[in-house]
Homo-oligomer: A and B are copies of this chain.
Amino acid sequence: MNLSKVKEIYDSPLIESEINLGGWVRAFRANKFIELNDGSTIKNIQCVINDGIIGEDIIKRISVGCSLIITGILVNSIGKGQSFEINVSNIKLLGDSDPEEYPIQPKKHSFEFLREQSHLRIRTSTFSSVMRIRSKLAFSIHDYFNKNGFNYIHTPIITSSDAEGAGEMFKVTTLGKEDLAKKDVDYSDDFFGKKTSLTVSGQLEAETYALGLGNVYTFGPTFRAENSNTSRHASEFWMIEPEMAFYDLNDNMDLAESFVKHILKYILTECEEDLSFLEERLLKEESQKPQNERSNLSLIEKIKFTVNNEFTRVSYTEAFEILKSSNYNKKKKFKYLLDNWGSDLQSEHERFLVEKHFKSPVIIYDYPSKIKAFYMRLNEDDKTVRAMDVLFPGIGEIIGGSQREERLDILKKRMSDMGIDDKELWWYIDLRKYGTVPHSGFGLGFERMVMFCTGMSNIRDVIPYPRTPKNASF
Chain A interface residues (CB < 8 Å from chain B): 1, 3, 5, 7, 22, 24-25, 38-40, 65-67, 69, 94-98, 101-102, 104, 118-120, 122-123, 127-128, 131-132, 134-135, 138-139, 142, 146, 149, 151-161, 168, 170-174, 177, 180-182, 185, 191-194, 196, 198, 205, 208-209, 211-215, 220-221, 223, 225, 227, 235-236, 238, 245-248, 251, 406, 427-428, 430-438, 463-465, 467, 469-474
Contacts and interface: CB of A to CB of B under 8 A. Distances in A.
Contacts of A470: 191-193
21 contacts: A39-B214, A39-B245, A67-B437, A97-B434, A101-B433, A119-B430, A120-B430, A122-B208, A134-B154, A135-B153, A154-B221, A156-B472, A157-B223, A158-B223, A158-B236, A171-B174, A172-B198, A177-B182, A191-B235, A191-B469, A220-B221
B135 A152 contact: yes
- Greatest chain B CB density within 10 A among A38, A161, A174, A469 is at A174
A139 B146 contact: yes
A31 B246 CA distance: 25
B151 A131 contact: yes
A94 B181 contact: no
Nearest to A8: B149
A296 to B, nearest CB: 32
Contacts of A157: 157, 198, 221, 223, 236
Given A157-B236, A191-B235, A435-B97, A205 B40 contact: no
Contacts of A464: 153-156, 205, 209
Contact of A247 (B1, B40, B98, B432): B1
A152 B172 contact: no
Q: How many copies does the complex hold?
A: 2
Contacts of A118: 208, 427
Given A157-B157, A464-B155, A467-B158, A174 B170 contact: yes
Contacts of A182: 177
Give 9 nearest A-B pairs by CB, closest first.
A122-B212, A95-B436, A181-B181, A39-B213, A39-B214, A192-B472, A67-B435, A135-B151, A119-B427
A225 B174 contact: yes
Contacts of A24: 211-212, 435
Contacts of A128: 212-213
Contacts of A170: 158, 172-174, 191
Contact of A95 (B172, B428, B437): B437
B474 A205 contact: yes
Nearest to A251: B1
Given A181-B181, A464-B153, A214 B40 contact: yes
A204 B192 CA distance: 28
A435 B1 CA distance: 17
A435 B122 CA distance: 13
Contact of A465 (B172, B205, B434): B205
A427 B431 CA distance: 48
A5 B172 contact: no
A233 to B, nearest CB: 13
Contact of A213 (B67, B102, B131, B155): B131
Given A1-B251, A22-B246, A209-B131, A66 B435 contact: yes
A337 to B, nearest CB: 35
A35 to B, nearest CB: 14
Contacts of A94: 435-438
A248 to B, nearest CB: 6
Nearest to A212: B122
B156 A139 contact: no
Nearest to A172: B170
A474 to B, nearest CB: 6
A245 B174 CA distance: 36
A208 B251 contact: no
